[in-house]
């Protein structure tokens, strides 16, 4: 199942800087592992924002929820999810 996920990170200005840097490093490793596994298929930064659009390829809504909520920066995120389906006019089918 494919999902388009928008993640907008909102770290409070008074958050501990060292803790946030550790979480960022953990998140990078975690997200790259999911990319290598093929579950996090695309990761696109939104220019000028601490946000991204991503495409996940997972087995279920529950798996997606588990992956996203396991992100180290998840407590600081606003997340929206859009399920995707094949378009009948698309030349390339996934």
pLDDT tens across the length of the chain (94 residues): 999 999 999 999 999 999 999 999 999 999 999 999 999 999 999 999 999 999 999 999 999 999 999 999 999 999 999 999 999 999 976 6
Angstrom distances, CA of residue 7 to CA of 50, 64, 88, 89: 9, 13, 28, 28
**50: CB partners within 8 A, 6+ apart:** 8, 9, 10, 11
Task: Give CATH for domain 2-84.
Answer: 3.30.70.1060
Distance, first Cα to last Cα, the chain = 10
The confidence score (pLDDT) of residue 94 equals 64
**3-state secondary structure (DSSP) of residue 20:** helix
Beta bridge partners of 83: 3
pTM over 0.85: yes
24 vs 15: CA distance, rounded Å: 13
């Amino acid at each position: 199942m494919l999902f388009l996920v928008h993640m907008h990170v909102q770290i409070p200005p008074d958050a501990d800087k060292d803790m946030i840097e550790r979480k960022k490093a953990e998140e990078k490793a975690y997200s790259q592992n999911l990319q290598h596994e093929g579950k996090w298929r695309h990761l696109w930064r939104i220019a000028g924002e601490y946000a991204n659009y991503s495409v996940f390829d997972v087995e279920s809504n529950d798996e997606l929820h588990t992956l996203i909520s396991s992100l180290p920066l998840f407590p600081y995120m606003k997340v929206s999810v859009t399920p995707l389906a094949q378009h009948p006019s698309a030349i390339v089918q996934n």
